[in-house]
């Protein structure tokens, strides 16, 4: 294991942890940065397993609240409705993700044009949405109606296109359907739990034969870095959104999307 491989693993771990829960598309950033670095030391297994680090970071931050929900679930109707709402929101993308998995990974993931365009257009949409005078009717995620949860889940399906961003799609959908910014971002966290866990389990199942234990140290390094960086982001994201809105993320998406389109024009639109 050389120094470059170690540095690449650390960089990609940071990229995964920092971008997973903010509306900039972690998938797009991992694909673009991984291609730029020429990193393929641990293959697909690296991308799959370091995602678990981000999932565990989210679960650790919300551990106390999740445990409280588990305790209350058998007798508290409000908690029961919230859990049901999250499951309803989770199902559309889960079903489509399984049905379209080969197209997403075999075609979409290799198109620099598609990824860059999704980043750019999503940034523009997020910028307009951040400035729209929307009236919030729902401000507590525990009281989101089931119809609203389904609507957010349908918006999450857009994130099957790399570059759209799972959190960006769910937050945008929630805002358009009448929530405030902070609760939209928080609901995106809770919806991420089953969505990411399901995606992780399915990707692991699909790629189990490609996991090389000789690359275990590199995977472990990326996992730890992803966990720590995601921990920092999850703890500070809601406060940042409350203070600054989504415009900073929108401008970042636009910048990265423009650079990606420029690279596609000069060097071609395939990520290999």
Q: How deeply is 80 buried, as exposed, middle or buried, from its count of CB atoms within 10 A (0-12, 13-18, 19+)?
A: middle
d(CA 223, CA 228): 9
Alpha helices, DSSP H only, in 38-180? 43-61, 63-72, 77-99, 101-106, 112-131, 146-156, 166-176
Q: Given 3-state DSSP classes, what are the helix, strand and coil percentages for the chain, each rounded to the nearest 5?
A: 80, 0, 15
The pLDDT score that the predictor gives to residue 212 is 66
Q: Is residue 272 situated within a structural domain?
A: no
In this structure, is residue 114 part of a structural domain? yes
DSSP 38: T
Q: pLDDT tens digits, residue range 21-33?
A: 999 999 899 888 9
Tokens 């980043």, residue located: 119
Are the CB atoms for 107 and 170 separated by under 8 Å? no
- Least Cα distance to 229 among 14, 7, 22 occurs for 14
Query: Looking at the DSSP assignment, which residues form a beta bridge with residue 179?
Result: 138
Q: How many domains does the chain have?
A: 1
> Coil, strand or helix: which one is 137?
coil
The reported pLDDT for the residue numbered 120 is 96
On whether residue 232 sits in a domain, the answer given is: yes
| 146 found inside a domain | yes
Non-local (6+) Cβ contacts of 113 within 8 A are 261, 264, 269
pLDDT digits (tens, 9 = 90+) for 181-234: 999 999 999 999 999 999 888 888 877 776 666 677 888 899 999 999 999 999
Sign of CA dihedral 80, 165, 53, 197: positive
Whether 160 and 97 have beta carbons less than 8 Å apart is answered as yes
DSSP character at residue 142: G
Burial of residue 162, with CB atoms counted within 10 A of its CB: 0-12 exposed, 13-18 middle, 19 or more buried: buried
pLDDT at 67: 96
Mean pLDDT over the full length of the chain: 90
Q: Which residues contact 48 (CB under 8 A, 6 or more apart)?
A: 200, 203, 204, 207
Q: Is residue 70 part of a domain?
A: yes
Tokens of 13: 């771990």
CB 193 within 8 A of CB 82: no
CA distance 156 to 164: 9
Q: Rounded CA gap, 180 and 260, in Å? A: 32
Full residue range of the structural domain in which residue 50 is found: 3-267
The list of the chain residues with pLDDT below 70 reads 1, 41-45, 210-214, 272
Give me the pLDDT at residue 191, please. Answer: 97
């Amino acid at each position: 294991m050389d120094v470059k491989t170690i540095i690449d693993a650390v960089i990609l771990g940071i990229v995964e942890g920092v971008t997973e829960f903010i509306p900039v598309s972690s998938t797009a950033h991992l694909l673009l940065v991984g291609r730029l670095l020429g990193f393929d030391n641990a293959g697909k297994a690296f991308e799959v397993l370091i995602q678990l680090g981000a999932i565990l970071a989210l679960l650790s931050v919300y551990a106390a609240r999740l445990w409280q929900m588990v305790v209350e679930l058998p007798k508290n109707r409000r908690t029961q409705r919230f859990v049901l709402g999250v499951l309803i929101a989770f199902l559309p993308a889960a079903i489509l993700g399984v049905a379209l998995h080969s197209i997403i990974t075999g075609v979409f993931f290799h198109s620099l044009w598609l990824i860059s365009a999704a980043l750019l257009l999503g940034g523009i949409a997020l910028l307009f949405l951040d400035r729209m005078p929307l009236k919030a009717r729902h401000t507590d995620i525990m009281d989101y109606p089931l119809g609203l949860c389904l609507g957010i889940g349908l918006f999450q399906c857009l994130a099957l296109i790399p570059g759209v961003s799972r959190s960006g799609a769910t937050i945008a959908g929630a805002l358009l359907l009448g929530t405030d910014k902070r609760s939209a971002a928080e609901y995106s966290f809770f919806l991420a739990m089953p969505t990411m866990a399901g995606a992780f389990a399915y990707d692991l199942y699909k790629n189990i034969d490609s996991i090389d234990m000789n690359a275990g140290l590199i995977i472990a390094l990326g996992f730890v870095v992803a966990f720590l960086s995601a921990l920092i982001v999850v703890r500070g994201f809601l406060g940042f959104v409350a203070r600054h809105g989504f415009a900073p993320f929108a401008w970042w998406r636009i910048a990265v999307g423009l650079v990606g389109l420029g690279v596609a024009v000069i060097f071609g639109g395939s990520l290999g």
